[in-house]
């Protein structure tokens, strides 16, 4: 099986697992559940749960113990997108080629759907942990998960981005890197670190996976900046050119196209080099990281 076919099969299997853990559309609160399911099932790369699963495999495990964390991470990612699209934030009407949740269900239910996905992520992990009482690896992974999703991770990065939204002319590279490290990279770090922790990796190995995630996250965000400047609506499923239109300071606007393209390649290669030094090899994971350099969506 070639890489593309293997990737498609893995994503299909992950989606089945993630969807199976979502709540059913029933009861008086079924509309907010519909909104939750709409946002999660609208498509996407499923990159974060895939990275977690492949990190778990890198450290020698392939069982279902990782599934609740994989599903929960995708719920966290999607809640962040629902809130990111709101009128108070980016006010986007399209995501993945479809109407955003607030456009379909209204701003009030979109807020609640995001809240629900955040809470349901932790419910999902709690259910999984109940099957492995006092499992130290799961406890360690849970601590990583909670921190990377919160104020010292994704939420922290998003808050700095929002605060600086109207001060783009004053933003410097340190500001940009802080936002990218937290808003984007934190959940990718979370994926790789949790996969390693759940598989019993030691502290040094988990720290190395955090570095891999940091590199991937920054490369991924720089590539997003590049695609916003060079891509199309058909490729991205959302409006393009918004950064330039809003005069938003980005890695690309501060560093230029040539350096940005080179940095995406450099960061990805560094991440793969670290993976290659681990006790085991996961060639699919290494190829997945490098494929992010070439993506057009």
For the chain, percent of residues with pLDDT exceeding 90:
78
Structural domain for 189, as ranges = 3-294
The pLDDT of residue 96 is 84
Which residue carries 């990065």 as its tokens?
157
Reported as a pLDDT band with limits 50, 70 and 90, residue 26 is very high
113-170 pLDDT, tens digit per residue, is 999 999 999 999 999 999 998 899 999 999 999 999 999 999 999 999 888 876 666 7
Count of domains for the chain: 1
Reported as a pLDDT band with limits 50, 70 and 90, residue 245 is low
CA angle 77, 82, 88 (to 5 degrees): 130
The pLDDT of residue 228 is 85
99 SS3 class: strand
The pLDDT of residue 237 is 53
Rg value, the chain, Cα = 19
Check pLDDT > 60 for residue 234: no
The pLDDT of residue 229 is 83
The first and second tokens of residue 207, run together, are: 């720290």
The first and second tokens of residue 64, run together, are: 């279902």
Check pLDDT > 60 for residue 271: yes
Residue 252's domain is classified under what CATH number?
1.10.600.10
The pLDDT of residue 163 is 86
The pLDDT of residue 34 is 97
For the chain, percent of residues with pLDDT exceeding 70:
92
Which residue carries 């700095």 as its tokens?
160
Q: What share of the chain is helix, strand, coil (3-state, %, to 5)?
A: 75, 0, 25
The phi and psi torsions of 21 (rounded to 5 degrees) equal -90, -10
How many whole angstroms from its chain centre is CA 25? 25
> Residue length, the chain?
297
185: part of which helix (H) or strand (E)?
helix 185-198
Per residue in 117-138, is it b (16+ CB within 10 Å) or e — as a string?
Answer: bbebbbebbeebbeeeeeeebb
Check pLDDT > 60 for residue 240: no
Burial class (CB in 10 A: 0-12, 13-18, 19+), 20: exposed
Q: Report how far residue 240's alpha carbon sits from residue 225's, in angstroms, rounded to the nearest whole number.
A: 10
The pLDDT of residue 232 is 55
Q: What is the pTM of this model?
A: 0.92
The pLDDT of residue 165 is 76
The first and second tokens of residue 52, run together, are: 């977690």
Reported as a pLDDT band with limits 50, 70 and 90, residue 40 is very high
Q: Which residues pair with 98 in a beta bridge?
A: 95
122: part of which helix (H) or strand (E)?
helix 107-130
Three-state secondary structure of 232-280: CHHHHCCCCCHHHHCCCCCHHHHHCHHHHHHHHHHHHHHHHHHHHCCCC
For the chain, strand residue ranges (E) read 94-95, 98-99
Average pLDDT in the 103-107 region? Answer: 95
179-215 pLDDT, tens digit per residue, is 999 999 999 999 999 999 999 999 999 999 999 999 9
Q: Report how far residue 159's alpha carbon sits from residue 182's, in angstroms, rounded to the nearest whole number.
A: 10
């Amino acid at each position: 099986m070639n890489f593309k076919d293997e990737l498609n099969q893995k994503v299909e299997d992950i989606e089945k697992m993630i969807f199976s853990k979502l709540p059913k559309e029933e009861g008086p609160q079924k509309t907010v559940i519909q909104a939750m399911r709409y946002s999660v099932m609208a498509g996407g790369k499923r990159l974060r749960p895939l990275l977690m699963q492949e990190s778990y495999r890198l450290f020698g495990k392939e069982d279902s113990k990782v599934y609740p964390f994989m599903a929960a991470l995708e719920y966290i990612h999607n809640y962040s997108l629902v809130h990111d699209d709101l009128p108070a934030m980016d006010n986007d009407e399209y995501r993945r080629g479809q109407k955003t949740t607030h456009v379909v269900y209204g701003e009030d239910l979109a807020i609640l759907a995001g809240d629900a996905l955040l809470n349901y992520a932790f419910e999902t992990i709690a259910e999984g942990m109940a099957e492995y009482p006092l499992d130290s690896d799961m406890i360690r992974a849970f601590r990583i998960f909670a921190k990377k999703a919160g104020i010292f991770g994704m939420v922290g990065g998003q808050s700095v981005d929002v605060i600086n939204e109207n001060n783009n002319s004053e933003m410097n590279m340190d500001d940009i890197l802080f936002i990218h490290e937290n808003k984007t990279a934190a959940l990718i770090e979370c994926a790789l670190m949790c996969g390693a922790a759940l598989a019993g990796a030691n502290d040094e190995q988990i720290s190395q996976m955090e570095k891999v995630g940091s590199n991937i996250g920054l490369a991924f965000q720089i590539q997003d900046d590049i695609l916003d400047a060079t891509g199309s609506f058909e490729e991205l499923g959302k409006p393009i050119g918004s950064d330039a239109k809003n005069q938003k300071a980005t890695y690309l606007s501060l560093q230029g196209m040539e350096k940005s393209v080179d940095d995406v390649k450099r960061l990805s290669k560094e991440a793969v080099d670290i993976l290659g030094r681990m006790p085991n090899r996961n060639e699919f994971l290494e190829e997945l990281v490098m494929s992010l350099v070439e993506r057009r969506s």
